[in-house]
Amino acid sequence: MNESGVGSDGERPDRRRREEPDQHDQERADFEAAIRAASLSPRDVRRLDNGDGSSQLLAIGEAPRGRPGLVALLLVLAAASAVGFAVVYVLGGQHQLQGVLLGGSLALIGVALVAWSKRLLPETLSLETRPPLDEGNHDALDDDLARSELDVRGRRMLLRLLAGAGAAVAAAIAFPLRSLGPDPDGALEHTSWRPGRRLVTAEGAPVHEDDIPMDGALTVYPEAHTDAADSQVMLVRVPGELLSAATVAGGVVDGRVAYSKVCSHAGCPVGQFRVDHRSPDTSYQLLCPCHQSLFDVLEGCRVLAGPAATPLPQLPLATDDDGYLIATDDFPSPVGPSYWNEP
């Protein structure tokens, strides 16, 4: 093994790092093992001065036999691809082609650089001893810091006041954060439904009791509040005799029953109405497309399956003198996901 270079400036004893005398022997032995394991046949092994007082061993492999032709070709292709991108852009642009040409030019330079380093540069291997992470000047640091500190240390009262004033300012600047949002103040407990308010479609058209066919479903809002997201309701029509007594007591109009469309799990719109007429039990269900909570329309939208914990609140219905559907009250309980002080 050719060890030219070893013994130049790197061998000089270093004051800052205090390298042990046999450290270099150990390094050389480890390095030879590593070189063998890496299948490197070095033509040159030397010690490099890092410039910070430490040194490292560097082995340089055989001169590579690769030719620059491939790298040159890749770089020419990359340039051509980049020019092509500009041309496509100027000619009006084409999305896929632009992606291929821009991505291609970048990737081609990338491949060229990797090929350059792998085929045109000799393989190298380096080894250095890690310096200790802790230089251990703690006492000297304390001495330095203590030099002019005599007065500070004596002022315990002032130091406490400084900490107190800092804490007060920190607390004071938290107050503007309060302006970020209003107090909930019962906003979550109520919707825009009021006794006597008509059910209307998203377009604002009032819903007549005959507007909804058997097995049909419709998203409705309180009249004049079609932008109230918390008031969206799934109005469905099922055979009235299938509804449970409690559901009927909750306010239905001959099989027309309305539930909050805001899922009691995570607030998604429960928009999938599933009707299954196969015997023995005809089923009417609402399914939330987000997390697949399943609710039984016939029994007050109790949870049949999935992650929801509570039923969808039922909107009490009636008809007005013209046969249009109206709500007789707000929902009996808050809509949407549970929160801690829910009434």
Partner 1 sequence: MKLGQAVRPLTDRLGGTRFARVTANKIFPRHWSFVLGEVALYSFLVLVATGIYLTFFFVPSDSEVVYDGLYGPLVGTSVSEAYASTMRLSFEARAGLLIRQTHHWAALLFIGSIMVHMARVYFTGAFRRPRELNWIIGMTLLLLATGMGFTGYSLPGDLLSGTGLRIAYSVAESIPLAGPWLTFLIFGGEWPVAGFTSRLYALHIIVLPVVILGLLTAHLMILWRQKHTHMTGAGAREHNIIGERLWPAYAMKAGGLALLVSGGLFLLGGLVQINPVWLYGPYDPASVSIASQPDWYIGFLEGSLRLWPGWQFDIFGVRIAALFWSGVVLPGLMFTILYAVPYLHRRFTGDDEIHHLAQRPRQAPGRTAAGAAAIAFYLVLVVAGGQDVLAAHFSISVDRLRSILRVLVFVAPLVTGLVAYRLCRNLADGASHPERNPVGNVLARTEDGRYVAVHPSNADPTAAAADHASADRHPADDGGSGPPAVDADAPVGGP
Structure tokens at 151: 């007065």
Member of 36, 67, 155, 274 binding partner 1 (CB under 8 A): 36
Told to check if 66 binds partner 1 by CB under 8 A, we report: no
Member of 5, 14, 17, 32 binding partner 1 (CB under 8 A): 32
Q: Which of 302, 118, 312 is nearest to 230 (CA)?
A: 312
Q: Which of 113, 89, 115, 112 is nearest to 100 (CA)?
A: 89
287-306 positions binding partner 1, by CB under 8 A: 289-294, 303, 305-306
Collapse the DSSP code of 228 into the 3-class scheme (helix H, G, I; strand E, B; otherwise coil) and give the result: coil
The nearest distance, CB 135 to partner 1, in angstroms, is: 12
Collapse the DSSP code of 136 into the 3-class scheme (helix H, G, I; strand E, B; otherwise coil) and give the result: coil
The nearest distance, CB 278 to partner 1, in angstroms, is: 14
The nearest distance, CB 122 to partner 1, in angstroms, is: 8
Q: How far apart are CA 65 and CA 76, in angstroms?
A: 22
Told to check if 312 binds partner 1 by CB under 8 A, we report: no
Member of 41, 76, 141, 204 binding partner 1 (CB under 8 A): 41
The span of 8-16, 116-124, 192-200, 276-284 binding partner 1 (CB under 8 A) equals 116-124
Told to check if 18 binds partner 1 by CB under 8 A, we report: no
Q: Which residues contact 91 (CB under 8 A, 6 or more apart)?
A: none
Say if residues 44 and 126 touch (Cβ distance below 8 Å).
no
Residue 184 C-alpha from the chain's centroid: 27
Structure tokens at 288: 């939330």
Told to check if 109 binds partner 1 by CB under 8 A, we report: yes
Give the CA dihedral 76, 78, 80, 84, nearest 10 degrees.
180
The nearest distance, CB 164 to partner 1, in angstroms, is: 27
State how far the alpha carbon of 178 is from the alpha carbons of 51, 62, 164, 184, in Å: 55, 69, 22, 12
Told to check if 21 binds partner 1 by CB under 8 A, we report: no
The span of 147-155, 245-253, 259-267, 324-332 binding partner 1 (CB under 8 A) equals 259-267
Structure tokens at 217: 């479903």
322-341 positions binding partner 1, by CB under 8 A: 336-341
Told to check if 273 binds partner 1 by CB under 8 A, we report: no
Using CB under 8 A as the criterion, what x/- string covers residues 172-191 for binding partner 1? -----xx-xxxxx--xx---
Q: Which residue, 135 or 143, has its beta carbon nearer to partner 1?
A: 135
Which residue type does 158 have?
A: L
The nearest distance, CB 104 to partner 1, in angstroms, is: 7
Q: Which residue, 113 or 146, has its beta carbon nearer to partner 1?
A: 113
Told to check if 5 binds partner 1 by CB under 8 A, we report: no
Which of 137-163 are b and which e, b meaning 16 or more Cβ less than 10 Å from the residue's Cβ? eeeeeeeeeeeeeeeeeeeeeeeeeee
